[in-house]
A and B are shown apart, each in its own frame.
Chain A
């Protein structure tokens, strides 16, 4: 069982380019999340999905979009990347979206926008 996989592991991207970060889980969890982690700051929620077909905005959603076409996949898209989006991005999943369940995190994608 892989748990949560993310791709790519790292990426250097020119400003203005479009980029999709991929996330797949095999635990059949209902809820999935995207966070960014910056030095000195806690993980910040970008977008979430409590179940397939639904999505919601987190704390820092601007410049990002997500989709949840099925249970397993939750891609994060940067439509036009900017340097402030340089960060480490973590995808996570949990059995439900209530906050009482443990979230399981992927290994992260390190993104650099130049």
Chain B
């Protein structure tokens, strides 16, 4: 069983709308959590990183939250744009990196 579970597997939203992606993990001991964005046919690119003591981090229209007690993180996309269409991958760092399978977001005009 994957130690990093992401939901939903995929979603479709209209341009301008908001959406929230979820990441639940069982990895321990926790060091940090990252969200990566992966455009189709490209390698992942880091969006945010949060350590144990941080519970929110923003990068433009992307806001990540972390609840280390419940081992949950979310990535909120505000006022989505067509360029937000991509896969979003949650990565948890313990003694090694554990990758979620990703959530595929499709933004439609």
Interface residues of A (CB under 8 A from B): 4, 40-45, 90, 92, 99-100, 102-108
Contacts and interface: CB of A to CB of B under 8 A. Distances in A.
Contact of A40 (B4, B42, B46, B101): B101
Interface stretch (B66-74, B77-85, B88-96): B88-96
Given A42-B2, A42-B89, A43-B89, A99 B97 contact: yes
Contacts of A92: 43
A102 B46 contact: yes
Given A99-B93, A99-B95, A107 B43 contact: yes
For the side of the interface on B, what is the size category? 20 to 34
Interface of B: 2, 4, 31-32, 34, 41-46, 49, 89, 93-102
Contacts of A105: 43-45
Contacts of B34: 102
Given A100-B32, A102-B49, A45 B42 contact: no
A108 to B, nearest CB: 6
A45 B44 contact: no
A43 B99 contact: yes
12 contacts: A4-B43, A40-B101, A42-B100, A90-B43, A92-B43, A99-B31, A99-B94, A99-B96, A103-B97, A104-B46, A105-B45, A107-B42
